[in-house]
Amino acid sequence: MIDKPLVEVSDSIRRWNVFLSSMAVVLITLDSTIANIALPRIQMDLNLSNDQLPWILTSYILANAVFMPLTGFLADRFGKRELLMGSVVGFVVTSFLCGISQNLEQLVIARVLQGASGAFLMPVSQAILLDIHTKATYSRAVGIWSMGIIIGPIIGPSIGGYLTDTLSWHWVFLVNLPLGLPLILGLAMVLPNCPKTPDRKIDLRGFLYLGLAVGLLQLMVDRGEGEHWLESWEIRFELVFSFVFFAIFFIHTMGRKQPFIQLACFKDANYVAGVFFASCTSLVVYGTSALLPGFFQGIMRYSVIDAGLLMMPRGVGMLIALILLSRLPIAQNPRPYIAFGFVLVAWSLSLMCNFNTDITSEYIIWTGVLQGIGTSFVFMPTNVLCYLTLPAHLQTDAASSVGLIRNLSGSIGISAVFTLFTRDNQMFHSFLTETITPTRIMQDWPALLSVESTQGAWILNMEISRQAAVQSYLNIFAAMEWMAIGIAVLLLLTHRRGKKLVA
């Protein structure tokens, strides 16, 4: 970043851009999770099998991941204002198409279009903020902007559950119309005209290579658990050819004057460090967000809406931290704030390791608030660190690259935690089954319910499964805790050396 903004605008226009950009991010991130809660109702209404159901989610993620790297070219060629407006309009229109779909084929096609149109929204909105802010004002702006990235997925399940229960599953998509139309009008009034590079040409082969690499990797991550990972020839094929196309892309990009993505941003040490920390944060945030609803509903027996509400305290914690961070001199050296954030995340995960079938909602709320504060202390300074010493002409490509990597990290995190959960659950179930004897269970077992009866055996197996699931959740929380501790220690040990890299 530079001391003078690339695009001069008034203070009021700058503030409106920050607010509306954050609302656009809320819109896109909200939809990434709001559909999850409606999947059982969609399956019932459209008469889908279990194998068909994942395509409703996978089609969106694949399209989003493949098209996001196009952001740099489209923003330079046609303008950031035009790209952001087109992305929001396209997302609202395709959301309407999802809402009126009558069968799986229509819904999957609409979800592909929705993922493709929304792919540019986050990186280009961040690039516009970089253009209109100085280094001193950007950290506060990105704090407000960052709220949408994390709060959207947290409130999505509760909103989706309410809409599905009171209206229909169609409204988890149709809700984007009343939310998106005022946003479009507001953006049209305040978005600035940013510099363009109309002579920039698209590297079609680079786009094809990277699209295939990312698409195959995402497909492998989404389908790996269901296909038993490397036991399946499909997964082996996707893994091998994903690496092959990544290698071809890098070799192809190195020799071009106008590459599809300018990889020069990865020569900046601060940017690489920021990408690493952003990836680790995505692993924790997306991983816990995917696990906790199952724990609340399957173990604690909360309703769908109540489970969604229990996810919201993290948003409160994020808001508290973002208000505090906006008043701190993060741009001088973001690394201590990131280390502190990982310490808080590790603390919250250590408290989550005490979860059990009788844990109180107050305890759950406290861990959520603490994790939200820690997440914000990592996320916002990481965004500042990424662009602290990066040249202005690389910022748009850098934004799309970190967005792509963050999404892939989140997807890998979700896949990893569910894989570990499934395997640990089977292991603990077998262990508990082997250790149970009639004399060990008679003390707490209802006298009128014989374990030798069909009903008694079924109830006993359900309780064994429940306790095995609890232990599996705790194992994953512990693994995430040690990862966060390791990163915090690494940051503190390299802090003095890292100061040389910070402008």
Kindly state whether residues 168 and 62 are assigned to the same domain.
Answer: yes
Kindly state whether residues 165 and 215 are assigned to the same domain.
Answer: no
Question: In the prediction, which pLDDT does 184 show?
Answer: 95
Of the chain, the percentage scoring pLDDT greater than 70 comes to 90
Detail the DSSP E strand segments found in 235-392.
none
Residue 2 has pLDDT above 50, yes or no: no
**Residue 13: is it exposed, middle or buried by C-beta count within 10 angstroms (0-12/13-18/19+)?**
middle
Kindly state whether residues 365 and 342 are assigned to the same domain.
Answer: yes
Task: Please report which confidence band the pLDDT of residue 496 belongs to, taking 50, 70 and 90 as the band edges.
Answer: very low
Residue 383 has pLDDT above 70, yes or no: yes
Kindly state whether residues 304 and 416 are assigned to the same domain.
Answer: yes
- Cα 65 to Cα 61, 112, 202, 205, 360: the distances in Å are 6, 11, 18, 17, 39
Locus of tokens 């499934």 = 422
Q: Could you give the number of structural domains in the chain?
A: 3
Q: Residue 1 gets which letter from DSSP? A: -
CA distance 132 to 395: 13
Question: In what helix (H) or strand (E) does residue 440 lie, and over which residues does it extend?
Answer: helix 438-441
Question: In the prediction, which pLDDT does 490 show?
Answer: 83
Instruction: Give, rounded to a whole angstrom, the gap between the first and last alpha carbons of the chain.
Output: 10
Question: In the prediction, which pLDDT does 136 show?
Answer: 72
Q: 145 with 387: CB under 8 angstroms?
A: no
Question: Looking at residues 324-347, what average pLDDT do you find?
Answer: 88
Q: Residue 54 gets which letter from DSSP? A: T
Task: Please report which confidence band the pLDDT of residue 341 belongs to, taking 50, 70 and 90 as the band edges.
Answer: very high
Residue 27 has pLDDT above 90, yes or no: no
CATH number at 17 reads 1.20.1250.20
Kindly state whether residues 247 and 269 are assigned to the same domain.
Answer: no
Kindly state whether residues 2 and 98 are assigned to the same domain.
Answer: yes
pLDDT digits (tens, 9 = 90+) for 117-147: 998 998 899 889 888 888 777 777 877 787 7
- Cα 130 to Cα 121, 311, 396: the distances in Å are 14, 31, 9
Question: Looking at residues 298-318, what average pLDDT do you find?
Answer: 81
| Count of Cβ atoms closer than 10 Å to residue 371 Cβ | 25
> Residue 89 contacts by C-beta under 8 Å, 6 or more apart in sequence?
184
Task: Please report which confidence band the pLDDT of residue 51 belongs to, taking 50, 70 and 90 as the band edges.
Answer: low
Locus of tokens 């091998």 = 240
Q: 116 with 60: CB under 8 angstroms?
A: no
Crossing angle of the two packed helices 11-34 and 121-132, in degrees rounded to 10: 160
Question: Looking at residues 208-227, what average pLDDT do you find?
Answer: 82
Kindly state whether residues 341 and 469 are assigned to the same domain.
Answer: yes
Task: Indicate the residue among 151, 178, 200 that finishes a domain.
Answer: 200
Q: What is the CA radius of gyration of the chain?
A: 24
Angle at 156 between CA 312 and CA 302, to 5 degrees: 60
Of the chain, the percentage scoring pLDDT greater than 90 comes to 25
CA distance 239 to 229: 10
Task: Please report which confidence band the pLDDT of residue 3 belongs to, taking 50, 70 and 90 as the band edges.
Answer: low
Task: Please report which confidence band the pLDDT of residue 310 belongs to, taking 50, 70 and 90 as the band edges.
Answer: confident
Question: In the prediction, which pLDDT does 418 show?
Answer: 76
Kindly state whether residues 166 and 218 are assigned to the same domain.
Answer: no
Task: Indicate the residue among 244, 259, 274 that finishes a domain.
Answer: 259
Residue 498 has pLDDT above 60, yes or no: no
Residue 502 has pLDDT above 60, yes or no: no
CA distance 31 to 26: 8
Task: Please report which confidence band the pLDDT of residue 364 belongs to, taking 50, 70 and 90 as the band edges.
Answer: very high
CATH number at 368 reads 1.20.1250
Q: Three-state secondary structure along 398-425?
A: HHHHHHHHHHHHHHHHHHHHHHHHHHHH
Kindly state whether residues 249 and 279 are assigned to the same domain.
Answer: no
Question: Looking at residues 337-341, what average pLDDT do you find?
Answer: 92
Kindly state whether residues 245 and 378 are assigned to the same domain.
Answer: no
Higher per-residue pLDDT: 329 or 341: 341
Kindly state whether residues 438 and 396 are assigned to the same domain.
Answer: yes
Q: Which domain holds residue 5?
A: 1-200
Locate all alpha helices (DSSP H) within 331-389, ordered by sequence: 335-352, 361-386
Tokens of 220: 């492998």
pLDDT digits (tens, 9 = 90+) for 401-422: 887 888 778 777 777 787 788 8
Task: Please report which confidence band the pLDDT of residue 449 belongs to, taking 50, 70 and 90 as the band edges.
Answer: low
Task: Please report which confidence band the pLDDT of residue 153 belongs to, taking 50, 70 and 90 as the band edges.
Answer: low
On average, the pLDDT of the chain sits at 83
pLDDT digits (tens, 9 = 90+) for 229-242: 888 899 999 999 99
pLDDT digits (tens, 9 = 90+) for 161-211: 788 878 888 998 999 999 999 999 999 999 998 888 888 788 889 889 988
Higher per-residue pLDDT: 194 or 97: 97
Kindly state whether residues 307 and 432 are assigned to the same domain.
Answer: yes
Residue 367 has pLDDT above 80, yes or no: yes
Question: Looking at residues 69-91, what average pLDDT do you find?
Answer: 91
> Which of 198-202, 274-278, 460-464, 485-489 comes out lowest in average pLDDT?
460-464
DSSP 143-175: HHHHHHHHHHHHHHHHHHHHHHHHT-TTHHHHT
Task: Please report which confidence band the pLDDT of residue 89 belongs to, taking 50, 70 and 90 as the band edges.
Answer: very high
